[in-house]
Structure 1
Amino acid sequence: MAAVFLYLVFSVALPAIIFIVHRSSRCRRLRLPPGSLGLPFVGETLQLISAYKTENPEPFIDERVNRFGSLFTTHVFGEPTVFSVDPETNRFILQNEGKLFECSYPGSISNLLGKHSLLLMKGNLHKKMHSLTTSFANSSNIRDHLLVDIDRLIRLNLDSWPDRVLLMEEAKKITFELTMKQLMSFDPCEWTESLRKEYVLVIEGFFSVPLPIFSPTYRRAIKARTKVAEALSLVVKQRRIESESGEKRKDMLGALLASDDHGGFSDEGIVDFLVALLVAGYETTSTSMTLAVKFLTETPLALVQIMEEHEQIRAKKGEGEALEWSDYKSMTFTQCVVNETLRIANIIGGIFRRTMTDINVQGYTIPKGWKVFASFRGVHLDHEHFKDARTFNPWRWQNNSGATYPANVFTPFGGGQRLCPGYELARVELSVFLHHLVTRFSWTPVEEDKLVFFPTTRTQKRYPINLQRRDRV
């Protein structure tokens, strides 16, 4: 028994010792950014996860920046990773997409989005599809086609609100319905609501271990993803038939089918593409809506000012008259609120990339094949770039809407070749939502509900508020 025990200990300890020795030897050969790789295999993943369950949005990064500086080495999610909280380094990473760095995401996200998603595309295909998506979500198309449905569907949702709501859940419902309308021309119905419930399960799987046998969450996500794909496949098949017979619709699916002149997109490819766009339009914008309301509630002067701005817009319109593009462009203080919400609560906290060769930056070397994480929110919350960076202060964006901030310092939608193609659409949806909310309701939080920034934390999905309808709708 003793021999067996010693054998087991030796068989477990030897690989760990070899790993540590090899790692230390390689670190001595290269001048890596300072930091700690943590425990063998596990690295500092547990510290990262536990830190993001706190109220501070960047505790993991804060601690290491204080110790090592704005560029540091760690080991998370099974791989050595260099974190950057330096604007110039982040810009360097974004500008060298496809040259020195390539897109790389955890397996759980890749598997659930599908290999044909825009997030995972590379090279010329990515450029083509990114351009197509950008042209669909640009200012002129929002103004001429999308705004009317954004306004209508937001009003329809707010009309159905009871006296108490869980704001995050209602915001998710709004953004899902908006995205379904924009992508495939579906108005809210029993079918879209059923699809939304499956989609919630898919998104929960993004932040789980991508092994169905060990993770019930991931197993449910895979099943839900299959159901979503089957439902969307039926829509794509029907729309392809309609398109071939000459029937055209001005939605994203219509744009995809119209651009498929030579049959280059399979139904599976289009489904993957739509699944990824649903993620982009659903999760991030709804969280921004919720946090904007939370920040305004905690900043009474800002709430009063934004209410005054929207009351002036509403006073010029007839009863029930929809917002127009000129109304949106007149929401100057609202854009300050939107900017500040995106700065503090940048939902896409950063991007993962993988080095395609050894990279020299700031006098250090990042080895080929390592992950890098360009932290956007870490820069946004740095007092060196924004005075009182952890304080919600929309007035900092006045005087030409914050144009004095360098483009590499304020990056809520990423940048470079992978700049979020729906950035203007997200801003419009958030602005229209705030308009109808502040002109229709006054509200108070039911209780002190602490929102944190880790995606799997359930409290982020709540923020209950009591509503009181105002006289004029």
Structure 2
Amino acid sequence: MAFLLHYLFITAIISAVSFLLHRSSRHRRLRLPPGNLGLPLVGETLQLIAAYKTENPEPFIDERVRRYGSIFTTHVFGEPTVFSAEPETNRFILQNEGKLFECSYPGSISNLLGKHSLLLMKGSLHKKMHSLTMSFANSSIIKDHLLVDIDRLIRLNLDSWTDRVFLMEEAKKITFELTVKQLMSYDPGEWSESLRKEYLLVIEGFFTVPLPLFSTTYRRAIKARTKVAEALSLIVRERRKEYERGAKKNDMLAALLAGDDKFSDEQIVDFLVALLVAGYETTSTIMTLAVKFLTETPLALAQLKEEHEGIRAKKSESEALQWSDYKSMPFTQCVVNETLRVANIISGVFRRAMTDINIKGYTIPKGWRVFASFRAVHLDHNQFKDARTFNPWRWQSNSGISCPGHVFTPFGGGPRLCPGYELARVELSVFLHHLVTRFSWEPAEEDKLVFFPTTRTQKRYPINVRRRNRSFS
């Protein structure tokens, strides 16, 4: 018996070594993009994380692009990964979703969002659910149903502001309340605030080692995710009973319950968890950074104020914004575009090669992960003049500069284009309108940007605010 076990052990080792040597030999025969796989197991993960914990993470990609070119190989989050800092390659990756590439994210994100989340869905189910989500966030729905709640809830939040606020914290409250309302028809209250605090812990766990024994952050995130799922499960069960009794509401949860697919409670909860993350984290950060960039660019802030004071001058103080008001904010849209470009809340997307893929003279082996970096393109001086300077005027129609769609991709692209892209723009525009027409402000202290685990300011961007009177003095 001992001999047999020894034999099997030796055979397993030889087989494993042979497989690795065969794979290594195969990879040598392929023309891989140049690069460096770094240290065993960890690769260059530590260098990537260290860069993104600073105010300037660009050198991580800049140095490798200078050394290897705009497509290079590295090893991050446990896997060899091909990075693309080139718009044409990024477009190729996005457009071939489900054909040559499939969605792939680090295990920590997958575990925390749930296997039924929109981010991880594939094939026909993803196509159907993506379409359903877009149908609840298109221009017509925003105009006819959502705008009134957006305006009301933003006003409600700003009414509570005192002399000093942490802008990122307030923006998170706003976007979470808006998302809960749009998904489940719940107005803000103790329940939504308690749920939001658990979400903070979930998001902190996204880019940690997905092993509870080795990461207290990930362990807290898993516990918080369980609490979030339990709270949402109660809502789903209650709404399912209401639906069976004939009660109907016009929200995402109602559409999921009424669908022909007969989704289970677990599937619906996973779907809602991911949508809450998407609608909450990214939009609130964009709100905060738009204000930060505007504060640091007085001429842009002055022009924005002028645009919104012109809109507000035609209305009573309590009168809500209409769709026609939103459509008459051209400079605001320039500010939105430039904030999205410079901030890069979605820095890029992970995909996995479904087969050996030839591109730009290189081969990406089947099973390898790729990362299409939107950030690298948005901050490339070859694509945008003075790319790392906040300049909303570059988006004006008379600037003489045109930007191809595959160069500016703040919401991704292809079949996985963010379904809430128009909703995010409207929420930010309405927020800026009420902010600049009701308050003046100044930073309470110096604050810096960091980009890991998510894009944020170190101190939640504290500002001292002062209410303005109706004459906009």
TM-score, length of structure 2 as denominator length: 0.93
User: Given that residues 336 and 401 in structure 1 are in contact (C-alpha distance below 8 angstroms), is that contact kept between their aligned partners in structure 2?
Assistant: no
Match of 2:154 in 1: 154
Match of 2:200 in 1: 200
CA distance in 1, matches of 2:400, 2:391: 12
Letter in 1 for 2:319: E
Match among 421, 424, 428 for residue 423 of structure 1:
421
Change (3 A) 1:198 1:213: same
Match of 2:333 in 1: 335
CA distance in 2, matches of 1:64, 1:176: 38
What secondary structure, in the 3-state scheme, does the structure 1 residue paired with 2:105 have? coil
CA distance in 2, matches of 1:242, 1:77: 44
User: Given that residues 171 and 287 in structure 2 are in contact (C-alpha distance below 8 angstroms), is that contact kept between their aligned partners in structure 1?
Assistant: yes
Q: 1:62-114: CA deviations, max 9, x gaps? A: 11111111100000011000000111111110111111100001111111111
CA distance in 1, matches of 2:313, 2:455: 41
> What is the CA-CA distance between 1:447 and the residue it aligns to?
1.7
What secondary structure, in the 3-state scheme, does the structure 1 residue paired with 2:312 have? helix
Match of 1:395 in 2: 393
Q: 1:371-399: CA deviations, max 9, x gaps? A: 00000111000011101100000000000
Change (3 A) 1:400 1:284: farther
Letter in 1 for 2:379: L
1:447 aligns with 2:445: yes
> What is the CA-CA distance between 1:246 and the residue it aligns to?
1.8
Q: 1:409-447: CA deviations, max 9, x gaps? A: 000000000000000000000000100111111111112
User: Given that residues 172 and 286 in structure 1 are in contact (C-alpha distance below 8 angstroms), is that contact kept between their aligned partners in structure 2?
Assistant: yes
1:117 aligns with 2:107: no
Q: 1:162-213: CA deviations, max 9, x gaps? A: 1111111111111111101111011111111111111111111112111111
Match of 1:230 in 2: 230
User: Given that residues 357 and 368 in structure 1 are in contact (C-alpha distance below 8 angstroms), is that contact kept between their aligned partners in structure 2?
Assistant: yes
Change (3 A) 1:306 1:57: farther
> What is the CA-CA distance between 1:451 and the residue it aligns to?
1.2
Letter in 2 for 1:246: G
User: Given that residues 91 and 408 in structure 1 are in contact (C-alpha distance below 8 angstroms), is that contact kept between their aligned partners in structure 2?
Assistant: yes
Question: Is there any run of 5+ residues in structure 2 with no aligned partner, and where?
Answer: 1-13
What secondary structure, in the 3-state scheme, does the structure 2 residue paired with 1:66 have? helix
Percent of aligned pairs sharing the same letter: 84
Change (3 A) 1:329 1:379: same
> What is the CA-CA distance between 1:456 and the residue it aligns to?
5.4
Letter in 2 for 1:427: R
User: Given that residues 285 and 456 in structure 2 are in contact (C-alpha distance below 8 angstroms), is that contact kept between their aligned partners in structure 1?
Assistant: no
User: Given that residues 183 and 252 in structure 2 are in contact (C-alpha distance below 8 angstroms), is that contact kept between their aligned partners in structure 1?
Assistant: yes
Deviates more, 1:268-277 or 1:56-65: 56-65
Question: Is there any run of 5+ residues in structure 1 with no aligned partner, and where?
Answer: 1-13
Letter in 1 for 2:263: F
Change (3 A) 1:164 1:271: same
Match among 342, 355, 368 for residue 344 of structure 1:
342
Change (3 A) 1:245 1:287: same
Letter in 2 for 1:399: S
User: Given that residues 94 and 413 in structure 2 are in contact (C-alpha distance below 8 angstroms), is that contact kept between their aligned partners in structure 1?
Assistant: yes
Change (3 A) 1:296 1:18: farther
> What is the CA-CA distance between 1:18 and the residue it aligns to?
9.7
> What is the CA-CA distance between 1:151 and the residue it aligns to?
0.4
TM-score, length of structure 1 as denominator length: 0.93
RMSD value over aligned CA atoms?
Answer: 2.1
> What is the CA-CA distance between 1:271 and the residue it aligns to?
0.5
CA distance in 2, matches of 1:26, 1:47: 28
Match of 2:269 in 1: 271
CA distance in 2, matches of 1:457, 1:133: 25
Match of 2:5 in 1: none
